[in-house]
A and B are shown apart, each in its own frame.
Chain A
Amino acid sequence: MKVLVIEDQKSLREDIVAYLSDKQIVCESATTFSEAEEKLASFDYNVVLIDLMLPQGNGLDLVRMLREMHSKAAILIITAKGSLEDKVAGLELGADDYLAKPFHLAELAARVSALYRRTQFDGSNEITFEEFRIDIHSKEVLVNDQRLVLTQKEYELLLLFFSNKDRVLGKNTIAEYLWGDYVDTNDHFDFIYQHIKNLRKKILEAGARPYIQNVYGMGYKFNTKPG
C-alpha cells in the first residue's frame, strides 16, 4: 500500500509517516501545496491524506484535482477546523473520509486501512492474518475456519488491532475509537477491560495464539509474534 501524507506541520507529518510505515505500507509525504500537486501528478497512491489548511492553498483543490484526474486513490481529509462545511464540501468533492484534529495515530491507521480495503475492488473484502480471516462485508470473523461470535464492540476492537499490529494502544485511544466524541473516555476504561477480556477469551477458545497482550495495565498490544 502506498500512502501520501500532505501535511505542512513538520512534527505531525513525521509522526504520521513513522507510525504508518511498516512492511506493508510505503508512506511518502508532501509539505507544500505545489509539492503535493507534483507528487499526485507523478505517482499513484492507494490512500492520500490531505490537510485542508495548507500554507499556499486549500486542500480541497487537491481533492478536486485528484478526482479530475480520475485517480483511484482513496482520500482522507484532515482538518483542524472540524467545521461541518469543510467536511461536507470535502466529501462532496470526492473525499472518502474525514478526520478532525487532534486524532490518535491508531485511529488514523484504522481509517487508512479501511480506505485501502475499500479501494481494492478485486473482491478482497477480506482481511487475513495467520489463523484469522475477516469478511468486512458480513463482519464475519473466522479463526482456523471456525466462526467467532463477537459483539459489535469486540469486532471493532479486533479491526483496530489489525490496523495497529505490534503497536501499543493506550486506553484513551481505544475509548475514543470505540465510543467517539460523545463519550467521556474516563467513564469507559472499565468497559475496555471487559471487552478486551472477552475478545481475548473468545480468540483463545477458538484455538488462536494469545495475540492480544496487556501492557502494564496501561494499554494493549496486538503482538504478531506471541511468545
Chain B
Amino acid sequence: MSNLDPKDELVTHLPALRAFALSLTRNRATADDMMQDTVLKAWSNMSKFQPGTNMRAWLFTILRNNFYTSRRKLNREVADIDNVYAEKLAVKPEHDGRLQMMDFKQAFDQLPDEHREALILVGANGFSYEDAGNMCGVATGTMKSRVSRARNKLSELLSLEDDEALELTDAATMAVVGSPRMPST
C-alpha cells in the first residue's frame, strides 16, 4: 500500500495511464482528451477511491469507461488512427529487430479494441485475468478467452505458427526486447 497522498500517487500513474490511452485510441489527440477527462474525474472523486486498492486499475477503469462511452456517443465504428507507434519507431536505433517490431505493431493495430485492451492489461501490465475482467466489466473466463483469441490472431497475422518465422522473430526480438531496460524473464 502506498504511503503517498492519493493525489500525489495519481501523478505517478500518469505515464502508464497515457500509454494505456494511446494503446486504446491509437490517436494522440483523442488519447490526451481521454486522459484529461480521466484526471479530472479521478481528482474530483478521490474520496471514492478506497485506500489499499489498486489505483492504477481504478484509473485505467475510468479511462476505458470514458473511451467506450465516448465511442458509443460518436457512433464511430472505425477508429481515427494516427501513427503513434511509427513515430516511436523513428527514434529507435537501427537494428535487426526494427522491422519485426513494426510488423508486430501493425498486427497489434489490427486487433479489435476489446482484444487490444485485454492484451495490454494482462500481457503488458501484468494484471490478473480476474482484475482485468473486473476492470472491463466482464467475467474472468471472458477475459481469458479474449487474451487467448488475441494471441491466436497475432500469431496468425505474424505467421508465428511457422517454425522458421518464430526462430527468426525470436532472434530479432531478443535484439529489441532483451535490453537491460527490459529484461526478458
Report whether chain A binds chain B: no
